[in-house]
Structure 1
Amino acid sequence: MPTAMILKEVHLQTADLAATTAFYAELLELPIQAQTETSVAFRVGFSLLSFRLSNAAQRPFYHFAFTIPSNQVAEAHAWISARTTILPAPEGGTILDFPNWNAKAFYFHDPNGNILECIARFDLPNAVANGFSSACFLGLNEIGLPTPNAPQSAEAIHRQYDVPYFVRGPRLPEFVVMGDDTGLFIMPTIGRGWLPTGRPAERFGIRVVFEEKGKTRVIDYQ
């Protein structure tokens, strides 16, 4: 898909670098791409997921999603649930169905309180024959970008970077989704609750390197 939006790099902050490194390297078994005394970066399929030690008194937290093979929701759920707790869905169970997006997903926390998601998008041709492993984290599919005004910020990104509004929606006064099935910006207004916990969205430093229509772009929020 030459015009797909690809989340190439996502750079986040962490208040506990040691716990972050252990969780992603040992529990999720993601390969470490680079590491210093104050940062660590992991390879996640076509994406790089990086954490930098925060000097702030606050504990930064984010929402992001991994793309998993479209035929491995149950296998991925079993693999993750053997390692950590799957978060309950608001209406019961632990797997959420998104019929408008033709997708299913489940959620869990990392030590920072980040809300992680594994999502299978059935319109993506990424089914695999083998059992689930860390190699089946195919890339980053979503990154949350909380903002004081979701429609205004979304329109600015649309105009500056030529990122389309997600054709499957939604596009609401407090919640806008941009991109396509391969990569999405999830843009809530600050204070809106994240699925599935309802924790109000906050904004912390984040840098996203993405590809849209073959061009590499950068969004940097400090």
Structure 2
Amino acid sequence: MTTDNAADRATDLATDLFDRLTAGAADEWASYVDHPFVQQLGRGTLPVSSFRHYLVQDYLFLIHFARAYALAVYKGQSLADMRAAFGGLKAILDVEMDLHIRLCAGWGLSPADLEQAAEAKATMAYTRYVLETGLRGDLLDLHVALAPCVLGYAEIGKRLAAGPSGLAQGNPYRSWIAEYSGEAYQEVAAGARATLNRLAARGMTEQRFPQLLTTFRQACRLEADFWQMGLTRAT
């Protein structure tokens, strides 16, 4: 290996892993974070029936993602790994699910109603993919599969909040946007990004990156399918 090649490789490995993944999956990432469902959320024009269907399914989705973070706690090789995964688990159980309960209460839906709802195919496809990835792979595989959700929602929240209608008083989805653009959730996302970089520094090689990118691309596609499920109210 020449000195120049060695320097290039060191630079690649030091680059923020999430930035590398989004650059490598640019089309899939854009289809997810710029989906028509997201655009309509920001404008406040999304049909309430679509948002309600999405929110019920997202509650079920979060139950499985809580299990995925619990798996990350189990797979942790250090207390730092375990604490990072516990932070994600706590954010789901104590922040995101509470938001869903508050919003759904306005439609007369109780937590028991939400838990008893039938899972849509898009919900099952994405959540099982993440869990299966975590079961067959290591901690980095699992966190890469989780990344489009936790980091994507933070990016979407910031984008929509910065738009002209995102936090406008008349936007019926203002509280959702405020939650994901708010400081608490943005800190969760920053922690997830730092965890990716820490795990990559510990165990990623350039030979492994294409496989991680494949996982990330598929997770982004499944996220876009989840938005589409909400938009069309598919079951």
- TM-score surpassing 0.5? no
Q: Which has the higher contact order (CA 8 A, sep 6+)?
A: 2
Q: Name the structure with the higher helix share.
A: 2
TM-score (norm 1): 0.30
TM-score (norm 2): 0.29
